[in-house]
Structure 1
Amino acid sequence: MPTRRYDDSPGLGSLYARTVKATLRRADYEPNEDGLTLELPRSAVNQDHLSTYRDVTGYAAGPALPVTYPHVLAFPLHLDLMSDPSFPYKPMGIVHLSNTITQHQPIPLHAEPSIRVHGTAERPHPKGTVFDVISEVFVDHELVWTDLTTLLSRSSGDPNAHADLLTDPVLGPNAWWDLRGNLGRRYAAASGDRNPIHLFKLTAQAFGFPRQIAHGMWAKAAALASLERAGELPDAFTVRVDFRKPLLLPSRVQFGHQRSGKTLDFALYDEAHELTHLVGQLQG
């Protein structure tokens, strides 16, 4: 498996240009057989950028990085992986199904973590083909954080394939959130994820949405920030979320959570509690 190492995080501008080119490549394109691993031996945290991220997601200031923030640090490597000629799918149009983060220990605020990203083998899904992008974060050569991002490339699919889903919990609202129409643009500025479906009504309509939708990883971050404020985040835990119905902006949503022993279930619903946007489960 080839490895590409960087002295600095790859620039998002050139990566987005390469992503568009990769999406437009010819239908008979055949990728390289070997998977690619990307490594960033040192990733410095910009404190102003971190402050912006905290502001848009709701995390309070503290001595450690928010548990979802390393996903932002790894995002340029994700984009690099999915726009590389060895990547077997067209990157634009891929659907983010779920995300699982394991924090082995909090990452100190001024740490300079190293990051490693690679993909997994594909597997069948009722709506196409599923694969994972795995991110690993190390501090002083110790693995402290992992992220498994599960993605779907749509095709005819296998109706007999197993779709791995969390059980939807039955939860009442613990909080109501009023989300503004510019939330997607604010999170894009904080995360680097400038997918047009999140930015403006017109750019979202070009991809079949009635108006812009919230980023899935914003919803996960906001949920965990709310749980952190409630004192529900231990130092070490695993948390998985599944993304259900798109969250249109602006909107008003319900957030609910309930703990049973070491398991905490949470979910994000629409104002009428008729649509489920996100379901999550935390173990720890």
Structure 2
Amino acid sequence: MTQAIRMQFSATPGTLGQYLRALLARGSGQRDITMPDIEALQVGVKARPERVAAYAGVCGFRSQSSLLPLTYPHVLAFPLHMELMLHKHFPLALMGLVHIRNDITQYRAIRQEEKLDIRCHFSGSKQTDKGLEFDIHTEITIGGEKVWESVSTNLARMRSSATKGPRKERTELPAFATAERWTLNSDLGRRYARVSGDSNPIHLYALSARLFGFKSHIAHGMWSKARTAAALQPLLGSDACRLQVEFKLPVFLPSTVELNYNLHETLNPETVTSSGIDFELRNTQGDKVHMKGRIEKI
């Protein structure tokens, strides 16, 4: 059995240096991959108000709030995610991984001046017909009280022996009661990178994205999620909530997209409630889904 590895950081690792390391990192080439037992911890983390304000401005949150935006703790934890995936025992190449799902639960509002203890670890993996999916679990506590947690699911594309299921027939997309349109400028990826630390080249310039197989640069999935949180959490009216998303198709920059949502209805008849909002981020023609999910009170 592989011995558990614990990494504790007294200061936040720099993401620019991490991406330089990521460009040189290579996977193990193993076919039977087991995710290592690695944990990254940083205690006493305090958000810097000027950075929170800059993030709020890029993502559409209220910039004068004394509370952390719902998605901002992900920014604080992201350097620890990188350290987990840059560890020598991590069996995959970091560049090329695809963020496919993200699930955030906030148990109460977090004030900007509070000191956070952040713990991240690999929490599960499975082989699919597209490759290996693995989860990074993040837990944030304040004085021992769990206030926020998330699960980020990433995909490493690879050939798999898993049997492919029957091809899904294309179904008609559901109708939503409300839509709002967003215009995304070409520099959005660079602006979000500056406030989040996520400087993956696929988000910065068309040329750098083409080096990784994209026709142009794409918006960060976590920007789309943050922008959705900024739009919908005030309608939900609760600091204690859960926001789940699936990232479906990339949003190429520049572009215009529409957030479609139902305020008091659900697409899932098993969870009929007035305390949640289902949504989809689509192209303006309405025939392509970039992201889908739900925000609900807890």
TM-score after normalising by structure 2:
0.87
1:253 is matched with 257
Does residue 275 of structure 1 match 2:288?
Answer: yes
Does residue 5 of structure 1 match 2:38?
Answer: no
C-alpha displacement at 1:177, in angstroms? 0.6
2:245 maps to a residue whose letter is: V
3-state SS of 1:211 partner: coil
8 Å CA contact retained: 1:133, 1:148 = yes
- Cα distance in 1 between the residues matched to 2:32 and 2:96: 19
8 Å CA contact retained: 1:36, 1:81 = yes
1:247 maps to a residue whose letter is: V
C-alpha displacement at 1:13, in angstroms? 2.9
1:262 maps to a residue whose letter is: S
Does residue 122 of structure 1 match 2:129?
Answer: no
8 Å CA contact retained: 2:35, 2:90 = no
2:73 is matched with 70
C-alpha displacement at 1:235, in angstroms? 1.7
- Cα distance in 2 between the residues matched to 1:26 and 1:136: 28
Does residue 143 of structure 1 match 2:146?
Answer: yes
Q: Which runs of 4+ in 1 moved over 3 A?
A: 25-34, 159-162, 167-170
Matches for 1:7-156 after TM superposition, within 5 Å: 7-23=10-26, 27=29, 34-60=36-62, 61-156=64-159
Bigger mean CA deviation after superposition, 56-65 or 152-161: 152-161
Q: 1:209 aligns with which of 197, 204, 214?
A: 214
C-alpha displacement at 1:171, in angstroms? 2.1
- Cα distance in 2 between the residues matched to 1:35 and 1:198: 30
Return closer, same or farther for 1:263/1:29 CA change in 2, 3 Å cut-off.
closer
1:195 is matched with 200
Q: 1:262 aligns with which of 272, 275, 279?
A: 275
3-state SS of 1:120 partner: strand
8 Å CA contact retained: 1:31, 1:86 = no
Bigger mean CA deviation after superposition, 120-129 or 93-102: 120-129
Q: For residues 246-270 of structure 1, what are the alpha-carbon distances to aligned partners after superposition, in whole Å with 9 as ceiling and x for unaligned?
A: 0011111111111332231011111
- Cα distance in 2 between the residues matched to 1:106 and 1:170: 32
1:244 is matched with 248
Return closer, same or farther for 1:126/1:100 CA change in 2, 3 Å cut-off.
same
Matches for 1:224-239 after TM superposition, within 5 Å: 224-229=229-234, 231-239=235-243
1:170 is matched with 175
2:271 is matched with none
8 Å CA contact retained: 2:28, 2:91 = no
- Cα distance in 2 between the residues matched to 1:159 and 1:184: 37
| Gap regions ≥5 residues in structure 1 | none
- Cα distance in 2 between the residues matched to 1:41 and 1:169: 44
| Gap regions ≥5 residues in structure 2 | 266-273
C-alpha displacement at 1:29, in angstroms? 11
8 Å CA contact retained: 1:124, 1:161 = no
Return closer, same or farther for 1:34/1:27 CA change in 2, 3 Å cut-off.
closer
